[in-house]
Amino acid sequence: MAKMQFLTGAPGFVNSSSEVNKADKEIPEMSQSRFSPSKNDQTKSIGGFPRLDTPENLQADLETLCRLQTSAPSSTSPYSASFHLAPNAFNRLESLLADIRVARFSYDYITQSAEITMVKTTVHNQCNRGIGTLLESAVEGLSGLVTAFATAEHHEEVEALQTVSRRLRNVYCDGAAAIVVSEKCYKAPDNQLIDHETKFPFPPFVVEISYSQSFENVKKKAEQYSKISDGHIRTVLIVDIDYPAISHMRLHLFATETAPTGERVLREVESITLFDLADAAPVIGPPNPGPLRLFTSDVLANDTEIPARLQRPLLFEGHGDDIVHVEIPFEDLRDACLKARELHLKKEEKAKNFWK
């Protein structure tokens, strides 16, 4: 399996704290450097809440806001909060965040909305890690398939195929880089596949873990990534967790295709229910859904340099024998997410017993 690496210095990416590596450690390590408020601070209070004068006040206000929003009946995101933030206050907030414990931060300049996640749940971290491991293994397998395809076909595009295979060997997961578009957005996906050789300003593939979202909201999240990157983020994988019961998880894969008009169109290409413990209805048809299929064009930037036989087809049906692709078995996806659920519930039970 490809070694996990971190991108440094590439356009469009900003290094941040490393992804949590243990189930019982939910808060990423943050910088401990001291912060000195500016004497000319004009953003001490944005709408009165949260305060932007000191790291301590900001953290206290964010924690309060998280408790208020999480307890609301409509809340689906634990330990998270959203609030209005004027664009001229963004740099101030970003500076303060370096000195407090925050798991994730995103900002949209257009809507002037900020989203903060103070702590990621165990099921969130474990799902993200398990899916990331499967993706890296799949990309490694895809590289081998492309090499075999080039050798077997004695193809006139053999040089291009060998280049693609080499690029695939340099694709890796990075859960610690933010996607930055100047004066447009600052987003921190849960994970992303980086096409290291291209030094492209956007990852071609991002992963999001969400909680109890409707299909409309899931699709909107995927479309936002495509929109902010002008279609260069072509593939979005979203794992939606029923929370807090965790009775089911569903996987949605969105991919960008080029319409006959030349326009890039994002559509859902796969939807898989990984498990549904609350569904007592008898199973009709095959016992398990099909695998998750990935194509070279899903994980590499600059699809114009990828031979047609390696690109995701407009419709998969009828093209299975012609298009080189890799499959992640349904059982592997399900087992990774069930393990995440088990670890989460064990930790929750342990916490309850501790406070008895």
User: What's the 3-state SS for 282-350?
Assistant: CCCCCCCCCCEEEEHHHHCCCHHHCCHHHCCCCCCCCCCCCCCEEEECHHHHHHHHHHHHHHHHHHHHH
Average pLDDT over residues 41-57: 66
Same domain flag for 65 and 163: no
Same domain flag for 94 and 229: no
Whether residue 43 is contained in a domain is answered as yes
Whether residue 47 is contained in a domain is answered as yes
Boundary of a domain, candidates 72, 100, 117: 117
| Residue 92: closest CA among 131, 132, 54 | 54
Average pLDDT over residues 20-26: 41
Q: Is the pLDDT of residue 180 over 60?
A: yes
Average pLDDT over residues 247-251: 96
Same domain flag for 257 and 175: yes
Same domain flag for 63 and 155: no
Same domain flag for 195 and 306: yes
pLDDT of residue 157: 81
pTM exceeds 0.75: yes
Whether residue 1 is contained in a domain is answered as no
Same domain flag for 320 and 189: yes
Q: Is the pLDDT of residue 205 over 80?
A: yes
Give the span between the Cα atoms of 170 and 200, in whole angstroms.
Answer: 13
Strongest mean pLDDT among 21-25, 40-44, 149-153, 266-270: 266-270
Between 73 and 211, residue with greater pLDDT: 211
Whether residue 9 is contained in a domain is answered as no
Average pLDDT over residues 254-277: 87
**Angstrom distances, CA of residue 284 to CA of 62, 71, 329, 333:** 47, 38, 20, 21
Same domain flag for 211 and 93: no
Same domain flag for 153 and 112: no
Average pLDDT over residues 144-169: 86
Whether residue 5 is contained in a domain is answered as no
| Residue 148: closest CA among 326, 313, 328 | 326
Boundary of a domain, candidates 117, 135, 162: 117
Q: Give the bridge partners for 30, in sequence order.
A: none
Same domain flag for 111 and 164: no
Whether residue 305 is contained in a domain is answered as yes
Whether residue 356 is contained in a domain is answered as no
Give the span between the Cα atoms of 356 and 337, in whole angstroms.
Answer: 29
Same domain flag for 80 and 131: no
**88 in helix, strand or coil?**
helix
pLDDT of residue 260: 72
Domain extent at residue 49: 28-117
Same domain flag for 93 and 152: no
- Listed as own residue / partner, the contacts of 279-287 with beta carbons closer than 8 Å and 24 or more positions apart are 279/248
**268 in helix, strand or coil?**
strand
Q: Do you know the residue count of the chain? A: 356
Angle CA(259)–CA(178)–CA(20) in degrees, nearest 5? Answer: 120
Q: Which are the contacts of 196, defined by CB distance < 8 A and separation ≥ 6?
A: 5, 7, 170, 171, 172
pLDDT of residue 265: 84
Exposed / middle / buried, residue 328 (Cβ in 10 Å: 0-12, 13-18, 19+):
buried
Same domain flag for 127 and 113: no
Whether residue 131 is contained in a domain is answered as yes
- The total number of structural domains in the chain stands at 2
Boundary of a domain, candidates 58, 86, 117: 117
Among the ranges given (21-25, 109-113, 201-205), the one the predictor scored with the smallest mean pLDDT: 21-25
